[in-house]
Amino acid sequence: MANVLITGGAGFLGSHLCDRFIAEGDNVFCMDNFITGSPENIAHLMGNKKFKFIEYDVTNYIYVEEDLDYILHFASPASPIDYLKFPIQTLKVGSLGTHKALGLAKAKNATFLIASTSEVYGDPLIHPQKEDYWGNVNPVGMRGVYDEAKRFAEAMTMAYHRYHNVDTRILRIFNTYGPRMRINDGRAIPNFINQALNNEPLTVYGDGSQTRSVCYVDDLVEGIHRLLLSKENDPVNIGNPDEITMLGLAEEIRDLINPNCEIIFQDLPSDDPKIRKPDTTRANTILNWEAKVNRKEGLDKTIKNFKERLGM
Ligand code: UDP
């Protein structure tokens, strides 16, 4: 039975992690300031003796009285529309927040895991992306606030590992989807599902030829759990390598919900990566992990959850 602190624990991924550690019998300390997280995501855990919620902004000094075995730093805006809305908070939580969470890990002798991202590869020039690729990031573009904060977070994590001997993990998360994503999250899958359910045109940005490889949340959570319990200090990609164009994804979601919906094309946001697909060899070999949920199954579950929340 471990004591686990999850920053950003009321967010999409954070709340699924809270559920996982509670299911393992661990004690979960969940921190969130609700900038993009939401109380509904953790409402079902309130009152559970093994769950403690602390409303807090982790860019400030973090004090936790109890011993901690694991700290998972998941606090951060994570949708491109959020980086535009909260650019300074995004930079602060990736830099100052990571520093504070690492300081806490050092003080508690806890294992630390940073939620990094495929965005560290920027608009990648190699494909699929392997962990030893250094990336192609525009530091002053609209996405720079997220990408550079996460790159700083990785550098800070390695510095605490090398100079303070903190036991650390670096997880590079590729596009993930599933129940509890905000309806108005702004990312492709929630947008397309919400639009199709409301009989609105699906908005594909650019010509829709850009690709992503989308992972169902349960697969991601399993990968995170395995990485945490491993001894791996170097970065590990976790994602589903099944690549699809955004037009293809819009068509797939349209056909699952409402084949009569129109698809319209809108401006491509600046610095939008043209291709993205994880090379998961390291996760396969080190963690014996691979994504198991195919897109149809994952989308069906996500659509069902969106319908429930929209009262349909
Ligand atoms: N996208 C789109 N329509 C939308 C939302 C997003 O075509 O309504 C595109 C976006 O331009 C990008 C891809 O879908 O090429 C994935 O975007 P998302 O915001 O989900 O995540 P990203 O991988 O860009 O962070």
For position 39, what pLDDT does the model report? 98
State the closest ligand 1 atom to the C-alpha of 276, by its place in the atom list counted from 1.
23
48-76 pLDDT, tens per residue? 999 999 999 999 999 999 999 999 999 99
State the CB neighbour count (10 A cutoff) for residue 310: 12
Topology at the third CATH level for domain 3-177+216-240+278-291: Rossmann fold (3.40.50)
Residues 6+ apart with CB under 8 A from 201: 195, 261, 262, 263, 264
For position 12, what pLDDT does the model report? 98
Q: In Å, what is the CA distance from 21 to each residue of 49, 100, 215?
A: 13, 22, 20
Residue with CA closest to ligand 1 atom 1: 188
Residue with CA closest to ligand 1 atom 3: 204
pLDDT string in tens for the chain (312-residue length):
999 999 999 999 999 999 999 999 999 999 999 999 999 999 999 999 999 999 999 999 999 999 999 999 999 999 999 989 999 999 999 999 999 999 999 999 999 999 999 999 999 999 999 999 999 999 999 999 999 999 999 999 999 999 999 999 999 999 999 999 999 999 999 999 999 999 999 999 999 999 999 999 999 999 999 999 999 999 999 999 999 999 999 999 999 999 999 999 999 999 999 999 999 999 999 999 999 999 999 999 999 999 999 999
Distance 184 CA to ligand 1 centre (A): 13
Q: Is 167 exposed, middle or buried (0-12, 13-18, 19+ CB in 10 A)?
A: middle
Distance 231 CA to ligand 1 centre (A): 34
Class of domain 188-209+243-277+297-309: alpha beta
Asked if residue 42 lies in contact with residue 5, where contact means CB atoms within 8 angstroms, the answer is no
For position 96, what pLDDT does the model report? 98
Domain ranges of the chain: 3-177+216-240+278-291, 188-209+243-277+297-309
Which residue do the tokens 């129109």 mark? 262
| Residues in contact with ligand 1 (CB, 6 Å cut-off) | 80, 175, 187-188, 191, 203-205, 210, 212, 246, 268-269, 272
For position 29, what pLDDT does the model report? 98
Residues 6+ apart with CB under 8 A from 293: 216, 218, 219, 240
Determine phi and psi for 10, rounding to 5 degrees. Answer: -100, 10
User: The pTM is what?
Assistant: 0.97
For position 32, what pLDDT does the model report? 98
Q: What is the distance between the alpha carbons of residues 34 and 40, in angstroms, rounded to a whole number?
A: 11
Q: What is the distance between the alpha carbons of residues 27 and 77, in angstroms, rounded to a whole number?
A: 25
Residues 6+ apart with CB under 8 A from 109: none
Q: What is the distance between the alpha carbons of residues 303 and 229, in angstroms, rounded to a whole number?
A: 32
For position 215, what pLDDT does the model report? 98
**Looking at this protein, which amino acid is placed at residue 178?**
G
For position 21, what pLDDT does the model report? 98
For position 242, what pLDDT does the model report? 98
Asked if residue 79 lies in contact with residue 117, where contact means CB atoms within 8 angstroms, the answer is no
Distance 266 CA to ligand 1 centre (A): 11
Q: What is the distance between the alpha carbons of residues 211 and 246, in angstroms, rounded to a whole number?
A: 6
Residues with catalytic roles: 146
